[in-house]
């Protein structure tokens, strides 16, 4: 009993030592550190191996964690793929951690929530396998799918990762959404996007303006023009995720494994700057220890 009491005192002291000052908030940022030459994750990292830069941010992270449980939204373009999704669902379920939660969304011209967040492996498997029936010929708008997927997430927590695993088209040609703004939203919510690029031809629609109905004597206005072709790959990379063409059914399970390899840094930041993600670098000592290491972190393209 005495030993247990000493352990509890030490544990509470460690929590107090890692807490932020009263005027600062703890926030997470998830990064990936890989060896450039072999594309393998760097192992053995600690919080002391990183430096943070940003307004109102403490330069030294409080803590580092890897292999955290995750909230994952599976985002699937609605078209037939034979038995591919069944195999992908089975492989993913085998890679999930016990505390992982998964939701499933399909998208085409519109989006549909097939499954709310759950830990039930059978429900996850069935929703992925049956969610995209591919019975409708339609123009896919992946950016609208990403928007509806990210709306499913709750509050940010330093103890959980958040990700969208997507299979679909790399090109969006029918949205009024710009990837710069959508990337900023994903980054603010600490959500990464990993894309398995569908080998099917891109579904495209022309760029045009559609006037809304005229009210009374008002002259017809013009809706915002469609943005034109935009790359979902750029969105994935900006969010801190990846984009790859798939050749086998392992794409979702490989995304889960890669998410486990990313590390989550908890840091202290002023409340007014909490929505912004800091720049993450390796410390000088870490650069000497891993000279070929590369830090991949969220960042809005073009800024």
Q: CA separation (Å) from 126 to 65, 123, 132?
A: 31, 5, 11
**pLDDT tens-digit readout, 83-103:** 889 999 999 999 999 999 999
The per-residue pLDDT for 129 is 87
Work out the burial of residue 273: count CB atoms within 10 Å of its CB; fewer than 13 is exposed, 13-18 middle, 19 or more buried.
Answer: middle
297: Cα within 13 Å, side-chain hemisphere: 22
The per-residue pLDDT for 206 is 38
Return the number of other C-beta atoms located less than 10 Å from residue 91's C-beta. 17
DSSP code for 281:
E
**pLDDT tens-digit readout, 104-137:** 999 887 788 999 999 999 999 999 988 766 555 5
The residue-averaged pLDDT of 27-47 equals 92
The residue-averaged pLDDT of 19-45 equals 92
CATH (one of 3.40.50.410, 3.40.50.2000, 3.40.50.2300, 3.30.70.260) for 70-208+223-261: 3.40.50.410
The per-residue pLDDT for 134 is 58
The residue-averaged pLDDT of 2-9 equals 42
The per-residue pLDDT for 3 is 45
Q: Indicate yes or no: pTM above 0.95.
A: no
CB-CB contact of 252 with 74 (8 Å): yes
The residue-averaged pLDDT of 247-271 equals 94
Question: Where exactly are the structural domains of the chain?
Answer: 70-208+223-261
Query: Which token pair is 20?
Result: 């932020």
**pLDDT tens-digit readout, 148-168:** 999 999 999 999 999 999 998
The per-residue pLDDT for 229 is 79
Nearest-angstrom CA–CA distance, 208 and 231: 19
The residue-averaged pLDDT of 249-277 equals 95
The residue-averaged pLDDT of 37-63 equals 93
Is 90 exceeded by the pLDDT of residue 176? Answer: no
Nearest-angstrom CA–CA distance, 176 and 65: 37
The residue-averaged pLDDT of 198-214 equals 45
The per-residue pLDDT for 178 is 87
């Amino acid at each position: 009993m005495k030993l247990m009491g000493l352990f509890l005192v030490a544990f509470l002291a460690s929590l107090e030592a890692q807490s932020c000052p009263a005027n600062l908030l703890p926030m997470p940022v998830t990064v990936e550190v890989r060896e450039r030459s072999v594309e393998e994750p760097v192992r053995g990292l600690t919080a002391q191996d990183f430096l943070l830069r940003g307004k109102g941010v403490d330069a030294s992270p409080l803590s580092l964690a890897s292999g955290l449980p995750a909230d994952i939204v599976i985002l699937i373009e609605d078209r037939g793929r034979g038995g591919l999704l069944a195999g992908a669902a089975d492989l993913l379920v085998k890679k999930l951690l016990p505390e992982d939660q998964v939701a499933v969304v399909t998208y085409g011209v519109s989006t549909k929530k097939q499954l709310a967040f759950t830990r039930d492996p059978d429900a996850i498997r069935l929703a992925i396998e049956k969610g995209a029936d591919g019975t409708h010929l339609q123009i896919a708008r992946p950016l609208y799918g990403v928007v509806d997927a990210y709306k499913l997430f709750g509050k940010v927590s330093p103890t959980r990762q958040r990700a969208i695993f997507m299979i679909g088209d790399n090109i969006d040609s029918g949205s009024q959404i710009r990837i710069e703004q959508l990337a900023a939203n994903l980054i603010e919510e600490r959500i990464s996007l990993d894309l398995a690029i569908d080998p099917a031809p891109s579904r495209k629609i022309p760029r045009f303006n559609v006037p809304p109905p005229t009210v009374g004597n008002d002259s017809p206005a013009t809706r915002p023009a469609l943005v034109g072709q935009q790359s979902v790959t750029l969105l994935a990379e900006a969010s801190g995720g990846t984009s790859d063409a798939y050749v086998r059914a392992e794409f979702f399970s490989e995304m889960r494994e890669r998410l486990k390899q990313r590390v989550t840094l908890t840091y202290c930041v002023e409340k007014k700057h909490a929505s912004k993600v800091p720049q993450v670098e390796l410390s000088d000592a870490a650069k000497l220890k891993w000279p070929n290491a590369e830090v991949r972190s969220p960042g809005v393209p073009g800024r």
